[in-house]
Amino acid sequence: MSTPTRVALVMGGSGGIGRTVVERLAADGMAVGVHYAGNRDAADEAVKAIEAAGGRAITVTGDVADERETAAVFDAMEAVFGGIDVVVNAAGILALSPLATFDLDVLDRMHRTNIRGAFVVAQQAARRARAGGAIIGFSTSQTRMGFPGYSAYAASKAAVETMTFVLAREMRGRDVTVNAVAPGPTATAMFLEGKDRATIDRLMAQPPLERLGTPADIADVVSFLAGPARWINGQVIYANGGIA
């Protein structure tokens, strides 16, 4: 008897780390939902690449902070694939400024996506993930590193860590793990934007491994939590090369 295909939904899967996670989970043999908020072309490209490699994937869209739109994303996944095993929420907004001068309208927009959105996605995942599944959120190593300018962003991700800890206990008896990944400095377009060579070199020198992380480094951790890591639960995995 063949093993049923596992199904993964990656929120924010059209670009950055989320795109690499999509590709990795598809390579692991999962059918994948590629969620996007605004860049449909990038999501379509991801699906075409997965299908060209022999995998199964669809695009789904919706505002992560809108409970109706997010429920519709999960409905679409279940309609096509019959259920969901793994939910990865890589959707997020990064805005940087010293706390004393941070624009409160920007704060509200960022926290709507990073906190409310994380809550809404986790809520749907908690209701729908099948036994043997995994719910994986994204935090940041800035909750430990404390770089200036990151107060608002790190605060939003500290909320994700608390949700992870509590939801893992609320899922008792469901055989669904709940964890979060906290990347350190990772060479994505979003992270590198606005940084000069000297700043990048300084960041590369900080970890004992003396380099920036790559999206593939982070996707490896997600793959582990989504598959064989059944005894890791309620944890935040700091993927930062030892920087913190």
Element (H, E) at 237: strand 236-239
| Interval 135-168: pLDDT, tens | 999 999 999 998 999 999 999 999 999 999 999 9
Please report which helix (H) or strand (E) contains residue 43, including its range: helix 40-52
pLDDT, residue 22, reads 97
**Measuring CA to CA, how many Å separate 160 from each of 25, 92, 131, 165?**
22, 11, 22, 9
pLDDT at res. 1: 42
* Residue 66, φ and ψ in degrees, nearest 5: -100, 115
pLDDT tens per residue across span 175-210: 999 999 999 989 887 777 778 888 888 888 888 998
Q: Kindly write down the DSSP assignment for every residue of 6-35, as one continuous string.
A: PEEEEETTTSHHHHHHHHHHHHTT-EEEEE
Q: Which of 3-7, 12-16, 191-195 has the highest mean pLDDT?
A: 12-16
Tokens describing residue 198: 């000297």
Q: Which of 99-113, 126-140, 190-204 has the lowest mean pLDDT?
A: 190-204
Q: CB neighbours of 50 closer than 8 A, spacing ≥ 6?
A: 22, 23, 26, 32, 56, 57
Predicted TM-score (pTM) of the model is 0.95
**Amino acid, res. 178:** V
Mean pLDDT of the chain: 95
Q: Annotated catalytic sites, by residue? A: 153
Contact 225, 237 (CB under 8 A): yes
Q: pLDDT at position 3, please?
A: 55
Give the pLDDT mean for 57-71.
98
Is 80 exceeded by the pLDDT of residue 48?
yes
Overall average pLDDT of the 48-55 stretch: 96
Number of C-beta neighbours around residue 46 at 10 A: 25
Domains along the chain with CATH numbers? 7-239 (3.40.50.720)
Could you tell me what percent of the chain has a pLDDT over 90?
A: 86
Q: What span, in angstroms and rounded, lies between the C-alpha atoms of 86 and 177? A: 9
Neighbours of 216 (CB within 10 A): 14
**Which of the 8 DSSP states describes residue 33?**
E
How many Å from the N-terminal Cα to the C-terminal Cα in the chain?
46
